[in-house]
Amino acid sequence: MTLLAGPALDVSRGAAARRAALTQLAHAAAHLGLDDGIHEMLATPRRSLTVAVPLRREDGSQTVLTGYRVQHNLSRGPAKGGIRFHPATDLDEVTALAMWMTWKCALVGIPYGGAKGGVAVDPGSLTRLELERVTRRYASEILPLIGPDKDIPAPDVGTDEQTMAWIMDTFSVTAGYSVPGVVTGKPVSIGGSQGRAGATSRGVTLTVLAALTRHGVPVEGRRVAVQGFGKVGALAAQYLAEAGCRVVAVCDVTGGRHRESGLNVAPMVAAAAQGVPVAEMTDGDPLTAEELLEVDVDVLVPAALEGVVTAANADRIRARLVVEGANGPTTPEADAILAARGCVVVPDILANAGGVVVSYLEWVQNLQAYSWSENEVAHRLQDLLKRAFDDVAHLADERGLTLRQAAHVIGVGRVAQAHLQRGLYP
C-alpha cells in the first residue's frame, strides 16, 4: 500500500496545477480574442488514458499501481512529453503538464503537440527489477497510444535514460524491430542524442543569462539558489556556477545547503550522481527546501515540483529574477504578487524548453538514422531558445505583458491557428 498515491494534501498538487494551467490559458485566450468554442477545445485534452499497472514484487507479493498517459493536443504534430514516477502523480497533474507541453512546443516552434504520462509510485521504494517490471508493464499498457509518429515519451521526475531504454525495448520487441524514435532521452548507445542529458539545464542557464542581459545586470557574481537537485537542478547549478554566478544555496527533497560566499557545486553534483542526498552533503550550512526559496539571492531557480511559490510565500521571495526550471512552480496568485513587486519570472514553457528542444533534435536524428556532434546539437538548441526568448521578450515589451503572459499568448496563439487552419472534422 505504501506504493499508492500519497496523502490528500499531496494529491491536491495535481488539481492546483490543472487549475493554474486553465487560468493561464483563459488569460491567453482572452488576450487573443479566441471564441468560446476554440477556447474550450484548447482546454480539453484530446485523449486521457488511465491504466492499471500490476506489479509482482521480489518478495512474491502483488500490488496494482495506477498509470496515466494524456495527449493534450495533436494539432501541430505528434504528442510529446515526459513520464513521471512519483507517489502523488494523478490524472489532474498529468493533464496540466500535458497542456504546458502543448504551449511549450508551439512556443519554441517544434512540430509537436503536448502529452505527459506517469505512474503513481515512489521509484525509491522499488528494487531495480521491480522498477523495470513497472516500466515495461506501464509501457505495454500505453503501447496503443505511443510511437514515433504518434506520441514520444521522455524522462521527467523519477525517471531517467534507463527508463527510456526499457520503454524503447518493450515497444521494439513488440514491433519485431528496433524503433529508437519512440522515446527521447535514451542512452546514446541506442540512439540517444549527444547533449540531451544536460539539455534542460543548459536551456535554464541560457535563459538566466539572457534575462540578466536583458535587464543590464552582469552575470559575474550573481547570487543564485536552486531548489531541486535532480536531472534539471543539479546541472543547472553547475552550469550557472561555470558561467560565473555564485550558487549560494541548493536543496533536494531531503533538505539543502547554504553558503553566502558560494557553494563548491561540482563535487556536490558528483556526489548526487552517486545517490548522496543534499542534506547529507557537508559544504555550507543546512537549510530546508522552504527556506531556500526565501534566501537573499538575485536569481531563484525552482527545479523540483509544481506549486512551491504560492500566495503564502511570494512576498518573502527576495530574488529579483525567478527562472522556472520546474513545470508550474509558481501559482497564478503568486505570479501576480511577484509581478507587483517587480520580480521578473521567466516561465517554465520558455525556461525549461531546452529539454524538449533536444528531444526533438534526438527524434529528428533517429528518423534520419543519423547522429550529430554535441557542438551541432548545442548550436541548434541555442538558436531555437534564443529565438523563443526574443519573441517572448519583444511581445511582453510591446503589449505590457509579463513574460509568462507573452509566452502563453504566443504558444496558445500558434495552436489556435493550427486548429483554425485545419478546420473541425466532420
Is 116 assigned a catalytic role?
yes
List the helix and strand counts (H, then E) for the chain: 14, 12
- Closest distance of CB 121 from ligand NAD, Å: 13
Among 67, 87, 113, 155, binds ligand NAD (CB under 6 A): 155
What does residue 42 show for φ and ψ, rounded to 5 degrees?
Answer: -75, -25
Distance of CA 371 to the CA centre of its chain: 25
Which residues, 200 to 259, sit near ligand NAD by CB under 6 A? 200, 227-233, 251-253
Strand partners, 219: none
Give the contact letters, 98-137, x = binds to ligand NAD (CB under 6 A), - = no: ----------------------------------------
Q: Which is nearer to ligand NAD, 252 or 298 (CB)?
A: 252
User: Which residue, chain included where needed, has cell 522499488?
Assistant: 126
Measure the CA–CA gap between 94 and 118, rounded to whole angstroms.
7
Query: Are 89 and 119 contacting, i.e. CB atoms less than 8 angstroms apart?
Result: yes
State how far the Cα of 210 lies from the Cα of 393, in Å rounded to an integer. Answer: 10
The DSSP H or E segment spanning 363 is: helix 354-368
Binding mask 182-211 for ligand NAD (x = CB under 6 A): ------------------x-----------
Residue with cell string 526499457: 166
Does 271 contact ligand NAD by CB under 6 A? no
Binder among 158, 180, 347, 413 for ligand NAD (CB under 6 A): 158
What order of strands is seen across the sheet that includes strand 246-252? Answer: 285-287, 255-258, 246-252, 223-227, 299-302, 321-323, 344-346
Asked if 325 is part of the footprint of ligand NAD (rule: CB under 6 A), the reply reads: yes
Q: Tell me the per-residue interface mask from 44 to 73 with ligand NAD, x by CB under 6 A, - otherwise.
A: ------------------------------
Per CB under 6 A, 352 contacts ligand NAD: yes
Peptide bond into 123 cis (omega under 30): no
CA-angle at 305, arms to 112 and 204, nearest 5° = 60
Cβ-closest position to ligand NAD: 230
# binding residues, ligand NAD (CB under 6 A): 24
| Comparison of 232 and 396: residue with beta carbon closer to ligand NAD | 232
Residues marked active site are found at: 116
Q: Please give the residue ranges that form the binding site for ligand NAD (CB under 6 A).
A: 155-158, 200, 227-233, 251-253, 289, 303-305, 325-327, 352, 355
